[in-house]
Amino acid sequence: MTTYIPHTGEDVADMLSFLGLASVDDLFEAVPDALRLAGGLGLPPGRGEPDVLAELEELAAANRARTDRMVCFAGAGAYDHEIPAVTRALAGRSEFVTSYTPYQPEVAQGVLQAVFEFQTMVARLAGLPIANASLYDGASAVVEAVNLGVAASGRPVVWLSQGVHPHWRATAATAAAGTGHDLRTFPLADGVTAWPDPSAPGVPGDDPPGVVVVAYPNYLGCLEDLAPARAWCDRTGAVLVVVADPVAAGLLRSGGDWGADVVVGEGQAFGTPLGFGGPYLGLFATTQDHLRRLPGRLVGETVDTEGRRAYVTTLRTREQDIRREKATSNVCTNQTLMAVTAAIQLGWLGTSGLVELGRRCAVATRVTRDALLAIDGVEPYASAPVVREFAVRTPVPAAVLLERLAGEGFLGGVALGEEFPGGEHALLVAVTERRTRAEVDAFVAAVARAVT
């Protein structure tokens, strides 16, 4: 069939006739009215492409840009970190940009080695021996960790801390509607999870958990003591899943050091810019015991027929490689480009650079938090220690405050919302190494004006 782009009324009529439609409106009938543009764009007919593009760019310029024109203090899973020139240059090379999954190792040794190095770095961050070739994002990594834990323990009950990102918990709940997993959320108390006492007799709900999921640091930026979660897992035989912030790993004990069976996280901070919700990068690491349950793909090192070091994909336990009913996951895939980008960024940082990155974020967070709490009416949302993100109570609704801050050129944070007690008057603020002292001072001054 010949494909063409219509340019005239006759071309449009021919296309509609070919499709069996009477009008252009019929072509878009499947699109709900609420999603259609009312009244058109207001452009005169017959304009050339350059003229139309110029007018559209002028319309687009009326939007508030994100970090190129606004100073970003928003976080909650997506962060405005520095992306050095070396990361942009190397990750932008065509041999990486055009790669997806290197099924043919004989023509993809470079990409396979890059992914292998990514796995090694993620394993080191997590403090666990095995890491996969990446997943879609942090949310899907949580889902896959829950699936692994239920399969390993044989029990469908999942204990989730409220400190896990709300979107990630919602994703887990959506997946559980199909798998039948029983998700039970434990609330936060003063910023940390209120787990039941593991030394007390009995189990809440009478059903022992098969999986316990906790964030470190949690959604509010607070540091959790993971010992109670680990104690419950030791007592019930549950699998401990730690949702870790990889940037904070430069300063904190790793999830593996805490006794985690699985460590997951979001790798966007390592070289992937903010981009209207994606693409993201799911991190996943586990112990040797769960190797055969690992979702997605694993790149392994071997030797070729001539004894030379070589890399191949192995343990591709998904539905396209084996029978669907035997797959560890039917929804996962890898994010090769973002994984390679993260490997480049982590290689550029090195161990000392990661420590310095975490330290700079922590110092900037402390300075910003102290300055905001000095404003009349602004109070800490929780007293638990924080690393690079924190929540404050505000005298005006957070949504109103954010709108006022946007008018002054700041992405001021994320409103906690109704899920958290008093969340309508609570703001989650993130401070990365990109924020200068002048930006912090200007932000604090803008908040002081906005809350009066």
* Residue 62 counted as domain residue: no
Both 148 and 290 in one domain: the answer is yes
Both 239 and 315 in one domain: the answer is yes
* Residue 1 counted as domain residue: no
Distance CA 433, CA 81 (A): 7
Distance CA 150, CA 368 (A): 41
Last residue of a domain, one of 345, 379, 412: 345
* Residue 9 counted as domain residue: no
Last residue of a domain, one of 345, 379, 407: 345
* Residue 139 counted as domain residue: yes
Distance CA 65, CA 245 (A): 27
Range of the domain at 325: 85-345
Q: Are 15 and 6 in contact (CB under 8 A)?
A: yes
DSSP assignment string, 357-421: HHHHHHHHHHHHHHHHHTSTT-EES--S-BSSEEEEE-SS-HHHHHHHHHHTTEE--EE--TTST
Both 259 and 357 in one domain: the answer is no
Both 78 and 89 in one domain: the answer is no
Distance CA 338, CA 344 (A): 10
Model's pTM, two decimal places? 0.85
Both 273 and 340 in one domain: the answer is yes
Both 277 and 362 in one domain: the answer is no
Ordered per-residue pLDDT tens for the chain, 452 residues: 344 344 556 778 888 889 999 998 888 888 998 888 877 777 788 888 888 888 888 888 877 655 457 899 999 999 999 999 999 999 888 888 776 666 677 778 888 999 999 999 999 999 999 999 999 999 999 999 999 999 999 999 999 999 999 999 999 999 999 999 999 999 999 999 999 998 888 888 779 999 999 999 999 999 999 999 999 999 999 999 999 999 999 999 999 999 999 999 999 999 999 988 889 999 999 999 999 899 988 999 999 889 999 998 887 665 556 666 677 776 777 889 999 999 999 999 999 999 999 999 999 999 999 999 999 999 999 999 999 899 999 999 999 999 999 999 999 999 999 999 999 999 999 999 999 999 999 999 999 999 98
* Residue 245 counted as domain residue: yes
Domain count for the chain, please give it. Answer: 2
Last residue of a domain, one of 345, 375, 410: 345
* Residue 423 counted as domain residue: yes
CATH of the domain at 306: 3.40.640.10
Distance CA 443, CA 294 (A): 44
Both 272 and 198 in one domain: the answer is yes
* Residue 411 counted as domain residue: yes
Distance CA 432, CA 246 (A): 13
Both 319 and 378 in one domain: the answer is no
Instruction: Select from 365, 343, 330, 230 the least CA-distant residue to 283.
Output: 343
Q: Are 416 and 381 in contact (CB under 8 A)?
A: yes
Distance CA 210, CA 255 (A): 18
